Structure 1
Amino acid sequence: MFSEKVVSIILGGGQGSRLYPLTDNRSKPAVPIAGEYRLVDVPISNCINSNFKRIFVLTQFNSASLNRHIKNTYHFSFFSSAFVDVLAAEQTPMSQKWFQGTADAVRQSMHHFLKHDFEYFLILSGDQLYQMDFQLMLDNHIEKKAEISIATIPVNAKDATGFGIMKTDATNSITSFIEKPGKDLLPDWKSAVSKEMEAEGREYLASMGIYIFNRELLVKLMENPDTIDFGKEIIPQSIHTNKVVSYQFEGYWTDIGNIESFFKANLGLADDFPEFDLYNRSKRIYTNARMLPTSKVSGTQMFKAVVASGCIINAEKIEYSVIGIRSKIESGSTVINTYMMGSDFYQALEEILDENIVNMGIGKNCYIKNAILDKNCCIGDHVKIEGGPHLEDVDTPTYTVRDGIVIVKKGAIIPSNFTL
């Protein structure tokens, strides 16, 4: 059984321009992470692990691959009413516009949600990395007799300037909200946190973009078409008219909405004890069961490397890198500080043996450092790609440089002897 009280809504976000070029031909929730998963698997898995199994994913850009992934991955019993459905923006007699913001996306899709019997909406972002038991948040919501609950995470003064910050009273009710406060305002925005958080200087409560709404209240709030965003309008306005409660979360959480944070979050999985724990049996991250063969490694030195299924690796060295499914790396190549997403399929043998074709994966005697290699990249022999602060931001047909990170685009062909 699962909780019949909750319908979960995962907001797929807009065009995902901050994650370009990874979002050039796929929606943000469909971006591959951790070698085997997609971003959307994180919030969906958190819902399933919390026993909330009626889930909608809202999106409007490049949703074909996301639809395909969800259709192939999340299957429940024929005798269960559990589901994961993608709702793309659609024109109706009531609305002929695309989603204008997070709240507008929920408003335009409301007629789909209200077909179900439930008491609470759980609203989630589709571009965050964390493991959280939403049942505990719901229990706190009910115990506090809240109308809205907001998941918050304690942050330090340096990070607080980049978030929406909540101020709470002794009962954890939120009394005020400020968006990205300046350093001079911070002393007035401290809230009560645990001793562990206080010792780390994390005394400011940042919104995680995770909300629980009572059903009747959210339906009523959606009647105003002028409010289009939760973080900028719905939440600040509701603090003064409704009981809004903070639910403090002290685990690992990161927003991976831009290339730099995406890169760091993925490489962090290669740490000895990664903060995002993929090995926790009670907090599993689910994804498409591809039935791939085991990976094969020959003559390769590996230091803090994560290698997914179905890889064929003959590299000289792989260091602090994540190697995705079906990746192929030829002899003599070195890969450092790199996220290689892998491939969607294996090449036919006749193609691999054709000397006129640049094969998928990394060729012989290459040096790849500080890079993201999107799916199905074909990198020739003797290629050198070394990202770093010495590179200026640039966008070309085959690669993009952002903040010193080189992103080789999906399906790009990099010829032999190329140097960057």
Structure 2
Amino acid sequence: MMNKTLAIILAGGTGESLSPLTDERTKAAIPFGGKYRIIDFPLSNCLHSGLRRVLVLTQYKSHSLQKHLRDAWSIYNPELGEYITAVPPQMRTGAGWYSGTADAIYQNLYLLERNPAEYVIVLPGDNIYRMDYAALLQQHITNNADVTIACTAPSAMNSSNYFVVDADDKQRVSNFSQKVADDPDNNSLASLGIYVFSKELLIEMLSQDHAQPQSSHGLAADVFPQLVKSHRVYAYGFEGSQGRVSQDGYWRNIDNLDDFYSANMDLLKSSPSIDLYQSDWPIRSHQPQFPPARTVPGVLGNEGIAINSIISAGTVIAGGSVQNSILFSNVHIGDEAVVEDSILFDGVRIGDGAHVRNCIIDKDNLIPAGSRIGFDAKMDKQRFKISSEGIIAIGKSSLSAAGGA
């Protein structure tokens, strides 16, 4: 079954609302949870589900993503027909870049036509969740479906921006439409943007959509509203015990800085909604060769301490304190420095006596000694981006560009 399936991951999104984290990388390549990239979640799902043929459609500032795919995911055997392949826009159908999710796949139609797969599973590359795609595919086959849409309850969504799915008691879909903010959810479901197609139908529908000049060329916006009227489309419930992994219903759209911050902070709860320590479904990523993390006394004799935090390899807390925070690899916390409620990417240096809170600090930034960030909103706003919930995002080179902290 799985050897007859091709996975396509849509990973070209710009993620403008996640700036400055996306100023130099695509949304799917944003670091997450102390050691991962966002795309590691759908790729790990593919790995554990038995999917061995994966195309990752890239576009916006894709170097970081492609480097990560090379370093972390060169694990399949091409001699056995296995691969994870990054596919940038080929411009085979015109001079433009991908103009929508349907167009992104249509521009690579030749890859579908030459592929021996019978089924295609289309996945977003920028969400945090676990799912056994084998169970999804099995239901698709059992129902003799043309298309299957993975869905969840609207209450499980952390965003009001989604597509509504109406289905009967046998999960046959009768309506697919954009969520209207003021409409009650009633008994509708929320689409997760995960779809299984028969390959020939997908090729047919993409070709029809491409021929429509008024279309925005999105699978959800343009293809599905008409598809449910003419074909056998079914909903698949994300929650429950289907498949080999405990599907606890955790799903996070990473639409903006607050979503990103909240999803990371979820990992610090005493019983996190998504358990990174789940041994039967580990999340794979690149493992940089750093020494173990450690805490050491500072020059002034202060003990380095970490409370309720994730501390990654290579990190040294030298007389400072870290509380309720996530530190990626090779971070250094100086003497008497304090880090609270923050996310520090690889290579960040917090100078002696500096105090930062409610921050997301991108790679390799140096916070000068004695700095205070997160205490004066007016001053912080002059130098950094602040989210609607007050989270301060410091991009690469932001401090030097702003004349220090």
* Shift in Å, 1:276: 1.8
Which runs of no fewer than 5 residues in structure 2 stay unpaired?
A: 240-248, 297-302
Q: Deviations over 1:191-212 (max 9, x none)?
A: 3xxxxxxxxxxxx411111111
- Rounded to whole Å, the distance in 1 between the matches of 2:380 and 2:224 is 36
- Rounded to whole Å, the distance in 2 between the matches of 1:275 and 1:127 is 18
TM-score by length of 2: 0.89
- Rounded to whole Å, the distance in 1 between the matches of 2:322 and 2:158 is 32
- Rounded to whole Å, the distance in 2 between the matches of 1:233 and 1:318 is 48
- Rounded to whole Å, the distance in 2 between the matches of 1:310 and 1:160 is 35
Superposed counterparts of 1:176-325, under 5 Å: 176-183=175-182, 185-186=183-184, 189-191=185-187, 204-224=188-208, 225=210, 226=212, 227=215, 228-250=217-239, 251-298=249-296, 299-325=303-329
Q: What amino acid maps onto 1:271 in structure 2? A: K
Q: What amino acid maps onto 1:253 in structure 2? A: W
Instruction: Determine helix, strand or coil for the equivalent of 1:149.
Output: strand
Instruction: Determine helix, strand or coil for the equivalent of 1:112.
Output: helix
Q: What amino acid maps onto 2:196 in structure 1? A: I
Using a 3 Å threshold, how does the CA distance of structure 1 residues 103 and 392 change in structure 2: closer, same or farther? farther
- Rounded to whole Å, the distance in 2 between the matches of 1:44 and 1:151 is 17
* Shift in Å, 1:302: 2.4
- Asked if the contact 1:11/1:126 (under 8 Å) is kept, the reply is yes
Note if 1:402 corresponds to 2:401.
no
Using a 3 Å threshold, how does the CA distance of structure 1 residues 172 and 296 change in structure 2: closer, same or farther? same
* Shift in Å, 1:45: 0.7
Name the structure 1 match of 2:15. Answer: 16
- Asked if the contact 1:383/1:417 (under 8 Å) is kept, the reply is no
* Shift in Å, 1:269: 1.1
RMSD value, Cα: 2.3
Q: What amino acid maps onto 1:134 in structure 2? A: Y
Using a 3 Å threshold, how does the CA distance of structure 1 residues 60 and 174 change in structure 2: closer, same or farther? same
Name the structure 1 match of 2:300. Answer: none
Q: What amino acid maps onto 1:311 in structure 2? A: T
Q: What amino acid maps onto 2:259 in structure 1? A: S
- Asked if the contact 1:167/1:190 (under 8 Å) is kept, the reply is no
Name the structure 1 match of 2:243. Answer: none
- Asked if the contact 2:28/2:125 (under 8 Å) is kept, the reply is yes
TM-score by length of 1: 0.86
Instruction: Determine helix, strand or coil for the equivalent of 1:222.
Output: helix
Instruction: Determine helix, strand or coil for the equivalent of 2:207.
Output: coil
* Shift in Å, 1:287: 1.0
Note if 1:334 corresponds to 2:324.
no
Name the structure 1 match of 2:245. Answer: none
Q: What amino acid maps onto 1:240 in structure 2? A: K
Using a 3 Å threshold, how does the CA distance of structure 1 residues 62 and 261 change in structure 2: closer, same or farther? same
* Shift in Å, 1:168: 0.9
- Rounded to whole Å, the distance in 2 between the matches of 1:78 and 1:244 is 34
Name the structure 2 match of 1:73. Answer: 72
Q: What amino acid maps onto 1:168 in structure 2? A: A
Instruction: Determine helix, strand or coil for the equivalent of 1:375.
Output: coil
Q: Deviations over 1:91-139 (max 9, x none)?
A: 23x3211100011000001212332211111111111000110101111
Using a 3 Å threshold, how does the CA distance of structure 1 residues 103 and 156 change in structure 2: closer, same or farther? same
Percentage identity across paired residues of the two chains: 28
* Shift in Å, 1:317: 2.1
Instruction: Determine helix, strand or coil for the equivalent of 1:22.
Output: coil
* Shift in Å, 1:336: 0.9
- Asked if the contact 1:378/1:412 (under 8 Å) is kept, the reply is no
Q: What amino acid maps onto 1:220 in structure 2? A: E
Superposed counterparts of 1:303-382, under 5 Å: 303-343=307-347, 360-382=348-370
Q: What amino acid maps onto 1:247 in structure 2? A: Y
* Shift in Å, 1:143: 0.8
Q: What amino acid maps onto 1:223 in structure 2? A: S
- Rounded to whole Å, the distance in 2 between the matches of 1:375 and 1:25 is 11
